[in-house]
Amino acid sequence: MSNAISNEHELPSAMHATELPHGRMGMWWFLSSEVIIFGGLVVTYILCRMHHSEWALEAANTINMAGALNTMVLLTSSFVVVKAHEAAHKGDNAKAARLLFVTVGFGLIFLCVKAYEYHHEIVQGFVPTANLFWGFYYLMTGLHGLHVVGGMVAMVIVALGVQRGNDPVGVEYVGMYWHIVDIVWIFLFPLLYLAS
C-alpha cells in the first residue's frame, strides 16, 4: 500500500487542496479506522470487566514482566522508526532501510515473547475458552499480534523498496502505522496485565 501511495508524486494530481499530502491524509484516516477497531474491543472489554470484578484475579495470571518487556520492546522499536524517518528525511536512504530492518527485528522479539507467554498460559489451562477474560485476552493480543506481523511485512517491503531507490516517503507512512500498533499495546498492557 505504501508503494501505491509513494507513486502519486509524479502525477499532475499530486497538488493537494489542503496542506497535507494525500498519503499522509489517507494514513490519518486509516489510523483512525484502526483506533476504532481496537477501541471497540477495548470499550467492550472494559465494560465487561466492570461487570465482572472477579476478572482481576484472572488478570493476575498474566506474566507482568513479559508484558513489561514487550512494552519496552515496542517503545524502543517506535523510537527506531522515528530515527528511520529522520534519516529518510535527511536523504540517507540506506540508513533508513537499515533502521527499518532493526524495527522488524524488534517486532520478532515481541512475537517470541508473546509466543512464550501463550505457551506458559496454555499449559496452565488458561486457554481461550477457560472463561471470558481469557477469551478477550487472546482476541485482543491475537489481533494486535496480527497487526505486528502486518507492520513487519510492510516494513520489509518498504525497506527493500528504499534500498532499490524508491521514494522514501513510505518510511514515514509505515512508521505512522507502527506507532499506532505501539499505542494499542500501551493500552493493552495495563488493561490485561497490570491493574489486577
Partner 1 sequence: MSESTHSGPSSTTVFIALVVALFVSIGISEVSTSGAAVASIYILAVGKAFLVVNYFINLRMEPAFVKSIIIGTLITLSILFIGLIPDIVAVFGESPL
Partner 2 sequence: MSHTAEESFISKYVFSVDHKVIAKQYMITGLLMAIVGGLLAGVFRTQLAWPDEPVFGLGIMAPHVYNAMVTMHGTIMVFWVAMPVLVAGFGNLLVPLMVGADDMAFPRLNMTSYWVFFLSTIVLIISFFVPGGAAAGGWTSYPPLSNSIEASGVNWGVNLWVLAVALEFVAFLLGGINIITTGINMRVPGMSMWDLPLFVWETVIASIVFLLSVGPLIGGAVMILLDRNFGTGFYDPIQGGDPLLFQHLFWFFGHPEVYVILLPALGILGEVLCANSRKTLYGYKMIVWSVIVAGILSFVVWAHHQFVSGIDPRLAFPFSLMTILISVPFAVHLFAFIATVWRGSIRFNTAMLFACGFVALFLIGGVTGIMNGTAAIDIYIHDTYFVVAHFHYTLVPITFIATFAGIYHWFPKLFGSLMNETLGKIHFLGTFVFLNLTFLPQFNLGMMGHHRRIANPTAFDFLSTSDALFLQELSTIGTYGLLLAQIPFVFNFFSSMFRGEKAERNPWQATTLEWNTESPPGHGNFDAPQKAYRGPYVYSPEGVSVDFLPQFEPPQDGE
Alpha helices in 11-167 (DSSP H): 22-51, 55-59, 64-89, 93-123, 132-163
7 contacts partner 2 (rule: CB under 8 A) = yes
Site for partner 2 in 119-158 (CB under 8 A): 128-129, 131-132, 135-136, 139, 143
Cell digits of residue 178: 507502527
**How many CA atoms within 13 Å lie on the side-chain side of 120?**
12
Distance CA 135, CA 126 (A): 9
Report the largest interatomic distance among the alpha carbons of the chain, rounded to a whole angstrom. Answer: 60
Picking from 132, 135, 146, the residue whose alpha carbon sits closest to that of residue 185 is: 146
Task: Out of 66, 108, 111, 186, name the contact with partner 1 by CB under 8 A.
Answer: 186
- 39 scored as a contact of partner 1 (CB under 8 A): yes
Q: Are 116 and 66 in contact (CB under 8 A)?
A: yes
Cell of 195: 491493574
Size of the site for partner 2 (CB under 8 A): 42
Binding stretches for partner 1 (CB under 8 A): 18-21, 24-25, 28-29, 31-32, 35-36, 39-40, 43-44, 46-48, 50-51, 56, 64, 68, 71-72, 75-76, 78-79, 81-83, 85-86, 89, 172, 175-176, 179-180, 182-183, 186-187, 189-190, 194-196
Binding stretches for partner 2 (CB under 8 A): 1, 3-5, 7-8, 11-13, 15-18, 20, 22-23, 25-26, 29-30, 32-41, 43-44, 48, 52, 128-129, 131-132, 135-136, 139, 143
